[in-house]
Amino acid sequence: MLVDTRWSAWNEEIEVQVTEAAALGPAAGLVGAVLSEAESACSLHRGDAEIHAVNLAQGLPVRVSVRLAGLLRSALWVARMTDGVVSPLAFDEPPSSVPSIHPEPTFADVQIDDATVLAPWGVSFDIGDTAKADTADRAAALVAHELECGVLVRVGGNVATAGHCPAGGWQVPVPGDGAVELPAGTALATAGADRTRASEGVGGGWEQVSVMAGDALWAYAAAASSQRRNLGAVAWLDQQELAARLVDYDGRVYTTCGWSHPHAA
């Protein structure tokens, strides 16, 4: 029997489903603790977040917590997997119309040695979105391990599962397409329209992108990257062998080969 609970945290709706009724309270407590730890590490909306020390360092090495180092590594992994399309770096000033004599720093210039971070001068980190996907994965794995039950954790548009699967699989709603079945240990991420980029003529070819993957971090990375790839996103997702559903601004639906039978993702 599935039981669930929902609440708001980190500017997102949080949902936890478990396969054992007695595990719901402890599961919610574990998920809440993982969320709180990640938010206090990297939320730019919190004045006491650890990430601010890194962003203020401007070319100087900073020792950080193990959790923030892990979240930064996840964000850099996303950047590598998407060829820099989804980058953790935000520049302090808009690019000048006058070419610089120095090359513009990229995510590849960031160094993390153990828990010491060295970022290029002139850039800062904005890793909230990748951190939420990473946290969904981490929280689901922790609940399944500690409570020995099946669990689904949703943080905003990121859904991660772990532990044994309920009969019929995890049924996860996809806006405009009913529900899809997630096998145990898989994930789904849905990215909505980036209307700011669309109005500026930068990417923005999709109203919505939903992607299934082995974990929420990769699912988020693929969905967010597809938002910036326009029509090339469908071919890119197929190359990655990912099940995905994309909706353009006219309501037309495109799917990859794997989405025809998404339960097999």
User: What residue spans define the domains of the chain?
Assistant: 3-32+131-264
pLDDT in tens, 236-253: 999 999 999 999 999 999
Q: To the nearest whole percent, how much of the chain has pLDDT over 70?
A: 89
CATH class of residue range 3-32+131-264: alpha beta
Q: To the nearest whole percent, how much of the chain has pLDDT over 90?
A: 80
Long-range pairs for 50-54: beta carbons < 8 A, 24 or more residues apart: 51/125, 51/127, 54/117, 54/119, 54/124, 54/125
Q: What type of residue is 109?
A: D
What does pLDDT average to over the chain?
91
pLDDT at residue number 265: 44
Distance in angstroms (rounded) separating the CA atoms of residues 129 and 140: 17
pLDDT in tens, 67-95: 999 999 999 999 999 999 999 998 655 55
